[in-house]
Structure 1
């Protein structure tokens, strides 16, 4: 690949332009970093604001997504590190703290570089702990009490469901449109690892990293994660030392050419190595190779018009590492990252692939399908100029910010579902809001932005709970409720305003309800607004072009006019919920509960997407106002949204409320069809089962459907409802099992709540 200067410069500039077009440019990289650092701030602030519930951990987003060193085609995982702060890991006795659990890092010649032992110390005095009271402690031959790395599984047990353990990480597989994510659990040590002290004083040809960067890195300390060296005789008590925060600092200080070089290495890896030799060379090894090449070359080598030569250097270094089966960790060189990864059988094939790439003069890049890189290079981007990839990336980043905030809010709301009383829920929300305000006043930058994003959601919920309480007590909405909900009206395009409209509708104030709904519809630009939901993972379709374009020109402030969160109601907000939606709180029978996962607590809430709920409230409001033309327009919009909006998260709920509208229009067949479609979307934990029972009960009790008499006898099971629907539509005689009659519905509701959903006559 070492070619004439003109060739290298021409290909390098071409490569740089193509990479910039697919989002590998300074602006998009900074946008990605801001998104994930903001998510990190929200996660850490949330743990600080909820320490009353004994939550005490720090959240870090590391790896390619937060570094900005990935593309849409690479589809990199989300790497999250959760650091438990209740354990004090030290390297010096002077750092021992009274009243907390202290563990001393031990490193000796019996351990592989990059690994350590954790000796348990006394809580009350700075002395070694001598008892072994539980199975997670081990006394070694020297008499020291060591903590086993399996102890980490005790801390992580509540959130491990569905995860697959890969070394120290728990991995959740992604699906189309949903990122896979890894979570690593760790303890933090404030001091820099002893094995890496020498790195602080080394200086390569390129004068990189700078002294300033090294000082910053040394102040980040290190993590210890619960995994031992597989070739060790004492694997169960060893802990891996991680310098991931220092490595993130190094990545944040790379030039755009260096980042592009790293991304090209990962594309080569994904295209030519991983399909045949999955667990051999990793992207982390490529990152380490890049660091070493930067440190050992002059800084003026890393120019945009020299990208091909820089890539050649990195691939050649990777070839040598593979040949020697040794890829030294950049900060702890004694740690060989390739140990045990390159087998004797696979080594010749990997070397041959790398050699072909080296000798191809850049032509091997034409075979990369990731992000259509090869086609883009070959066709000089002429075909792809109409596709602005940076817009698509920016759209993903904005919804990532929204969903991170929503994830925290929904987590809190699901906790509140266990506190069904008004007073307890109000006190908890006030504590959370006050804590967030205090944190906001004490911080700046992204931390303050994080507080400003999360606080309004809690204010809206507090206002809605207060309104529900006052409607229950005196059929009015208190001034306090209106004040609190007004503080959160601009969380996004619609959801908080829809809560206000919902409570006014339930109060019977149709005039003000109609005004608010009209305002929401005017601001809900169907060309620019995207639904946002984190209740569960589902496959998202491509976002709207207008949405992506706005996101490309703005940061998180665009949430207010481009994103529409789903609307959530706690059970203590039930008086602010129309009766048609109240059934959603009672969606799960006792049998259904067995089919719910650890992340399905949202099913205890009444939840609906914003746009269908907007049209449903319009339908109800215009019905009460006697505006029949507007009523039918709202109903048509509701049907169109259910049919055409690609990214509805709660389509089954929208179908359920549409079915009830059909009932109110005396169209029982269409209503039953809606409930049928709803069950096709979500078979279990679906209120459609209640609606089918209720509707059939009404049909039987009224004895008529379209003028045809029906009789009932015992014979059908509830699961036979599809056959029953067919018979109703064709006008055949229907047999229905007695337990689906209306007299049994209150019993069903009592399984979830003694009051059940309130219905209108």
Structure 2
């Protein structure tokens, strides 16, 4: 490769150790991958249970395990529309699908195609069609324009190439990219050629090629930047084959890729804009791995490997040519660089290539430069904001758990019969599914059982103020969905039917089992940014499998309007939080605002306060009130703090402390100005005070 100075071995080993500390090690990489594979399985099952023919894939750095806590990589999701199929020739036409014929000729750039609309009842072209996203070409063929993706762009979303991006809010909030794709019936010709060309090479191996052949190809809605007809073009995507290649990398190759991204983010941005994408870095890495023997890629040689990757990237910039690893004709740099930008990038890259690793000391991402200097005894260890290895592991795995676990609360319905149908569907998936599908179903079903039981209980209470054995059976089946929320629903039901003694026992058991230093409150009602995670939670989540999470997470407690009879009247106000004007300020992810939703721990203490009041146990009642105020003040990871403040305010009113109650409601409005029941409480409290 290059002549290797003697000190490279020492720097490489220390650099590798620093990356281990940050969380770039085989354990965390594999945990990330398993987590996201389970996540995409759960999302797909949820979609299909809701009647949508969509398969979801988690792609990119997060799912590959090729990121760190402070690289802030995007969350990439590919939504594959299973009701659509893209065919290469007429023999592939499939009944019952929306068929599009792929067109590739001398007018389409390499790696791109056009899509011709076909009839759904026969393998024949559509001859007459109208619409903003449909147009005919010079040969009279009806083509689908990629502008159809624009119809998916709503409030809070932004079109970015083939994806619809959910914008981050705040410096530590990761953006989410959703790519909408159509699957190909078979591999198109240009990527298919790669399958045969690579069979004689040592990397990718024959086994990897065989697996790649079994994966789907997609088309995604974006045209070439260098094309005059970009709106008619769709880009070929071999994302699943690329994921196969990434999953085959050893830890040194993964570390090289992460270092490349850190270097680019630190040194190669021009006017806050990145002209070299992480996908280009990945492509360069693929070419380097294919061109060098496997014995080169080892930890004691990581600095040399990194220099070779940077040298290769420099050549790509010099020639403005970075060929896609699978679709070689597709130049990833085509039309991306102006002469001025190219010159600036080459000057910076020249400095990096010749720096002999010195540039690593300037990387502040995850304090890599400072950590490396400490490892090399160049500076004394400092004490500011440098996480230790176990803390880094906690941060990495906990971030994964937020993305993987929280969305299981998304399945919800106001009708017990509909929920029952979903449980039956999940049971079928469980019986016929693979290991991931079985795990997903085991996590999903208990939550649905709790919701079914609560809906039935609400109907029971409305009719005869009791709870039927059927409702209790369903609720019992869901008690272990997480550490608290399902049991709190049971306690809430018992409170609403006037069974205070049993309510107190249930709440006492929940509090006894709720280990505050370990259990993490989790909310996915909206894009709530979790500022930190408990070290105990991170340690246990990294040590145990995903099914152990139900003992260390506490979801928020959600009641639909059809569950209103299971909700104390103080919390029922949350179902009516919105005025007509407020409704105009809701976004797409705000469906939860029609429900009564509260974080588990505040609801535990609120129910204790009300229950002990009913039982005339004033000392315990005051203790619960103190704990409710304490958790609102001290727990940063509350997704519904404004609701907790509204509950505290009503407790203050019961204590005949209207001034304190009004202060709670004002604080609540400070957190959420619109769609907040605090407005109702302020009016009611003032009216009661005056009267």
Match of 2:245?
A: 250
Match of 1:189?
A: 184
Residue of structure 2 aligned with 1:165, choices 130, 154, 159 = 159
Match of 1:606?
A: 596
- Per the TM alignment, residue 115 of structure 1 is displaced from its structure 2 partner at its CA by 0.5
CA–CA distance in structure 1, aligned partners of residues 172 and 640 of structure 2: 17
Q: Which stretch of structure 1 is more off in the superposition, 468-477 or 125-134?
A: 125-134
- State yes or no: 1:11 paired with 2:11: yes
Q: Which stretch of structure 1 is more off in the superposition, 176-185 or 198-207?
A: 198-207
Match of 1:537?
A: 527
Match of 2:43?
A: 43
Question: CA separation of 1:626/1:562 partners in 2, compared to 1, >3 Å: closer, same or farther?
Answer: same
- State yes or no: 1:322 paired with 2:317: yes
- Per the TM alignment, residue 165 of structure 1 is displaced from its structure 2 partner at its CA by 1.1
CA–CA distance in structure 2, aligned partners of residues 225 and 467 of structure 1: 46
CA–CA distance in structure 2, aligned partners of residues 591 and 46 of structure 1: 32
Match of 2:427?
A: 437
Structure 2 stretches lacking a partner, 5+ long: none
Q: How many residues align?
A: 682
CA–CA distance in structure 2, aligned partners of residues 637 and 127 of structure 1: 70
- State yes or no: 1:556 paired with 2:546: yes
CA–CA distance in structure 1, aligned partners of residues 198 and 678 of structure 2: 68
CA–CA distance in structure 2, aligned partners of residues 28 and 119 of structure 1: 44
- Per the TM alignment, residue 275 of structure 1 is displaced from its structure 2 partner at its CA by 4.9
Three-state SS of the structure 2 residue aligned to 1:99 is coil
Residue of structure 2 aligned with 1:141, choices 138, 141, 145 = 138
Match of 2:113?
A: 116
- Per the TM alignment, residue 279 of structure 1 is displaced from its structure 2 partner at its CA by 3.6
Could you list the per-position Cα deviations for residues 563-584 of structure 1 after superposition, in whole angstroms to 9, with x for gaps in the alignment? 1111000111111111111111
Q: What are the equivalent positions in structure 2 for 1:723-742 lying under 5 Å apart?
A: none
CA–CA distance in structure 1, aligned partners of residues 229 and 345 of structure 2: 32
Match of 1:700?
A: 690
- State yes or no: 1:362 paired with 2:357: yes
Three-state SS of the structure 1 residue aligned to 2:375 is coil
Match of 2:71?
A: 74
Do 2:225 and 2:335's aligned partners in 1 also have CA atoms closer than 8 Å? no
Q: What are the equivalent positions in structure 2 for 1:28-427 lying under 5 Å apart?
A: 28-51=28-51, 55-154=52-151, 156=152, 160-174=154-168, 175-203=170-198, 207-276=202-271, 278-380=273-375, 382-383=381-382, 386-388=388-390, 389-406=392-409, 408-409=410-411, 412-413=412-413, 416=414, 425-427=415-417
CA–CA distance in structure 2, aligned partners of residues 315 and 121 of structure 1: 46
Q: Which stretch of structure 1 is more off in the superposition, 208-217 or 539-548?
A: 539-548
CA–CA distance in structure 2, aligned partners of residues 121 and 252 of structure 1: 37
Do 1:399 and 1:563's aligned partners in 2 also have CA atoms closer than 8 Å? no
CA–CA distance in structure 1, aligned partners of residues 53 and 312 of structure 2: 43
- Per the TM alignment, residue 177 of structure 1 is displaced from its structure 2 partner at its CA by 4.1
Could you list the per-position Cα deviations for residues 109-150 of structure 1 after superposition, in whole angstroms to 9, with x for gaps in the alignment? 221100011112222221222223334332222222222222
Could you list the per-position Cα deviations for residues 337-358 of structure 1 after superposition, in whole angstroms to 9, with x for gaps in the alignment? 0111221112222112112111
Residue of structure 2 aligned with 1:460, choices 438, 447, 450 = 450
CA–CA distance in structure 1, aligned partners of residues 553 and 270 of structure 2: 38
- Per the TM alignment, residue 205 of structure 1 is displaced from its structure 2 partner at its CA by 8.8
CA–CA distance in structure 2, aligned partners of residues 478 and 426 of structure 1: 14
Do 1:81 and 1:184's aligned partners in 2 also have CA atoms closer than 8 Å? yes
CA–CA distance in structure 2, aligned partners of residues 346 and 479 of structure 1: 71
Do 1:366 and 1:378's aligned partners in 2 also have CA atoms closer than 8 Å? yes
Do 1:177 and 1:538's aligned partners in 2 also have CA atoms closer than 8 Å? no
Could you list the per-position Cα deviations for residues 386-419 of structure 1 after superposition, in whole angstroms to 9, with x for gaps in the alignment? 452112212222232221222x22xx34xx3xxx
Three-state SS of the structure 1 residue aligned to 2:165 is strand
CA–CA distance in structure 2, aligned partners of residues 615 and 555 of structure 1: 30
CA–CA distance in structure 1, aligned partners of residues 531 and 72 of structure 2: 16
- Per the TM alignment, residue 202 of structure 1 is displaced from its structure 2 partner at its CA by 2.1
CA–CA distance in structure 1, aligned partners of residues 579 and 10 of structure 2: 66
CA–CA distance in structure 2, aligned partners of residues 595 and 221 of structure 1: 40
Do 2:217 and 2:239's aligned partners in 1 also have CA atoms closer than 8 Å? yes
Structure number with greater Rg is 1
Match of 2:664?
A: 674
Question: CA separation of 1:81/1:506 partners in 2, compared to 1, >3 Å: closer, same or farther?
Answer: same
Alpha-carbon RMSD: 1.6
- State yes or no: 1:527 paired with 2:520: no
- Per the TM alignment, residue 525 of structure 1 is displaced from its structure 2 partner at its CA by 0.7
Match of 1:578?
A: 568
- Per the TM alignment, residue 277 of structure 1 is displaced from its structure 2 partner at its CA by 6.5
Three-state SS of the structure 2 residue aligned to 1:227 is coil
Match of 2:507?
A: 517
Could you list the per-position Cα deviations for residues 619-670 of structure 1 after superposition, in whole angstroms to 9, with x for gaps in the alignment? 1111111111111111110011111111111111111111111111111111
- Per the TM alignment, residue 539 of structure 1 is displaced from its structure 2 partner at its CA by 3.2
Q: What are the equivalent positions in structure 2 for 1:735-750 lying under 5 Å apart?
A: none
CA–CA distance in structure 2, aligned partners of residues 238 and 211 of structure 1: 33
Residue of structure 2 aligned with 1:662, choices 621, 641, 652 = 652
Three-state SS of the structure 2 residue aligned to 1:150 is helix
Do 1:401 and 1:556's aligned partners in 2 also have CA atoms closer than 8 Å? no
CA–CA distance in structure 2, aligned partners of residues 96 and 20 of structure 1: 50
- Per the TM alignment, residue 680 of structure 1 is displaced from its structure 2 partner at its CA by 1.3
CA–CA distance in structure 2, aligned partners of residues 270 and 49 of structure 1: 41
Could you list the per-position Cα deviations for residues 328-376 of structure 1 after superposition, in whole angstroms to 9, with x for gaps in the alignment? 0000111110111221112222112112111111111111111111001
- Per the TM alignment, residue 176 of structure 1 is displaced from its structure 2 partner at its CA by 3.9
Three-state SS of the structure 2 residue aligned to 1:122 is coil
Three-state SS of the structure 1 residue aligned to 2:253 is helix
Match of 1:706?
A: none
- Per the TM alignment, residue 91 of structure 1 is displaced from its structure 2 partner at its CA by 0.8
Do 2:610 and 2:621's aligned partners in 1 also have CA atoms closer than 8 Å? yes
Do 2:642 and 2:672's aligned partners in 1 also have CA atoms closer than 8 Å? yes
Q: Which stretch of structure 1 is more off in the superposition, 540-549 or 257-266?
A: 540-549
Could you list the per-position Cα deviations for residues 436-468 of structure 1 after superposition, in whole angstroms to 9, with x for gaps in the alignment? 111111102111111111111111011001111
CA–CA distance in structure 2, aligned partners of residues 47 and 487 of structure 1: 23
Three-state SS of the structure 1 residue aligned to 2:479 is coil
CA–CA distance in structure 1, aligned partners of residues 593 and 262 of structure 2: 41
TM-score (norm 2): 0.96
